[in-house]
Chains A and B, each alone.
Chain A
Amino acid sequence: MTAIPHAERRDSSVLRIKAIARRHWFVMVRSPHRLFDVTIWPLVDVLLFGSIATFFLRAEGTDVGRAAFGYLLAGILLWHVVYQSQISLSTGFLEETWSRNLLNLMVTPMREWEYIAGVVVLGLLKLVLGVGAVALLALLAFAFDVTDLGLTLVPIAAVLLMTGWVIALFVIGLVLRFGAGAEALAWGILFVVMPLSGVFYPVDALPGLLQPIARLLPTTHAFIAARSVLDGGGVPWGRLGVAAVAAVVLAMLAVAWVAAMLRLFRTRGYVTRYS
């Protein structure tokens, strides 16, 4: 019988994060249909909105047409920062429920934040791939260069990234509480957030009742800031500050929400749904 060699062990968060990130890397490269979320759907979006933008530009040929062109393409490119960060984290967690892997993970020494960090690391790679692909298509097919936004792009993208993670944590909390029935929200919730965020238009264009809700979202302020830069109005640091504060507040709420749902998950023994 083979004796087990001595195992050098240490309580290493880095190793655990690496293990989870690599696991999700294999999921991505060995599941071609997952690449639809990373590249195909985003490219289709850019093609659709880029074509609409071009139609406006040609039909109007005016300042309004030029503004619509920029709003539509910048809007859809930046929206995919929210989309990729949200989808990669929420479907990363859903992957564990689909493959009935939750119990296996929950009996290990891994802390919850280490798991989330592992999925987020791979999610950042997906973000680079996905947003890189749409930015390249926008440049090649529609001569729209998102880097024209300059360094403002960095804080705007950071707010959008954090908001995507916040939405994903909200979805994960719902799945912990309600099980598979809440899975559809991983994709569906973005269809609610997108119009409320004024991705392509000023918030004033929304029905009056929805405008106060829209102004609570960090994404709304991030897109306003992006349009301001496109219009040549300079960097609206105040607006970006509001977006950052809103994102941080929502992130704290999201973490508290997931922690509460995880406690409920353990108290009610919901793990048996996945074992």
Chain B
Amino acid sequence: MPSDVLVANGLRKRFRGVQAVDGIDLRVGAGERVGLLGPNGAGKTTTLLMLLGVITPDEGSVTILGNVLPKQRTKAMMDVGFAAGYLPLTERLRVHEFLRMYAEIYGIAAPDPLIEAGLDRFRIAHLADRLGTELSSGQRTLVGIVKATLHRPRLLVLDEPTNALDPDVASRVRTGLLDLCRDEGIALLVTSHNMIEVERVCERVVFVSRGRVVANGSPADVATQFERDDLEGVFLHLAEDHE
């Protein structure tokens, strides 16, 4: 069993003459919580989508739990969960129907106890019979995270999970994620623009700027490397540099 759940080497991607990602290497260890950070246009989302096999890299390789993409994508994705704060829930489905659909896609034939436990974990069991369109953005995000963790993935990938959430809901998401990773040994790869949140959730951060990794270490080490007080300072420094 490999100790790294995710290994990406030399990822490069060019769109219409613009080098979006320029040689990114990334590793996520089992149970590790990693933040992928950077200003808008730094190449985070493109990197994330290449890691998930949705975008094909021009160069480089992605291996998830020993499965090389794209050839072993189905096997790799059995152990990956994904949620994004900006994605809506599938329309015309009630929450429990939506979760059942994804549980079955991940090969769970009898998902009801898992759905119940997942909703309980994030204290949203009362939403089970609601249509996706009737939920607030915070509730949708929580349901999206339940969907991403139903099958007990070894790697959970979250793109802007607390984007546009109220502080109390964002706090509930953070607490739920930390408990989940601790209890289940799930590795986490998360992007966020909220540096305070990243400092609370992530053990390690990888800063990306102009498609390259410019820092990789614990939040404190990265802040020290850039001679800033915290990640917020590093982010602002890199954002200025990016413009």
| Chain A interface (Cβ < 8 Å from any Cβ of B) | 1-5, 7-12, 15-16, 18-20, 22-23, 26-27, 30-31, 95, 98-101, 103-111, 263, 266-269, 271-272, 275
Complex Cα gap A137–B199 (Å): 67
CB distance from B121 to the nearest CB of A (A): 5
- From B99-107, B162-170, B189-197, give the one contacting chain A: B99-107
Q: How far is the CB of A268 from chain B (nearest CB, A)?
A: 7
Q: How many A-B residue pairs have CB under 8 A?
A: 138
Residues of the A chain whose Cβ atoms lie less than 8 Å from the Cβ of B76: 109
Give chain B nearest CB distance to A17 CB in angstroms.
9
- Give chain A residues whose Cβ lies under 8 Å from the Cβ of B93: 23, 26
Nearest A residue to B109 by beta-carbon distance?
A: A15
* Residues in chain B near residue A18, CB distance under 8 A: 104
Residue B214 at the chain A interface, CB threshold 8 Å: no
Sample (17) of A-B pairs whose CB atoms are under 8 Å apart: A2-B117, A4-B183, A5-B117, A7-B111, A8-B109, A8-B110, A12-B109, A15-B105, A18-B104, A100-B87, A101-B90, A109-B74, A110-B74, A269-B15, A269-B55, A271-B54, A275-B87
> B183 near A3 (CB under 8 angstroms)?
yes
**Interface size bucket, B side?**
35 or more
Residues of A within 8 A of B88 (CB): 99-101
Q: Which residue of B lies closest to A114 (CB)?
A: B105
Which residue of chain A has its CB nearest to the CB of B20?
Answer: A269
Q: Tell whether, in the assembled complex, residue A109 and residue B15 are in contact, meaning their CB atoms are under 8 Å apart.
A: no
Q: Tell whether, in the assembled complex, residue B91 and residue A19 are in contact, meaning their CB atoms are under 8 Å apart.
A: no
A11 touches B78 (CB 8 A): yes
Specify which chain B residues have a CB less than 8 angstroms from the CB of A15 in the assembled complex: 104-105, 107-109
Question: Contact check: which of A11, A12, A27, A271 meets B91 at CB < 8 Å?
Answer: A27
Q: Is B142 part of the contact surface with A, judged by Cβ < 8 Å?
A: no
A106 — which chain B residues lie within 8 A by C-beta?
A: 52-54
**Which of B145-153, B204-212, B221-229, B231-239 touches A?**
B145-153
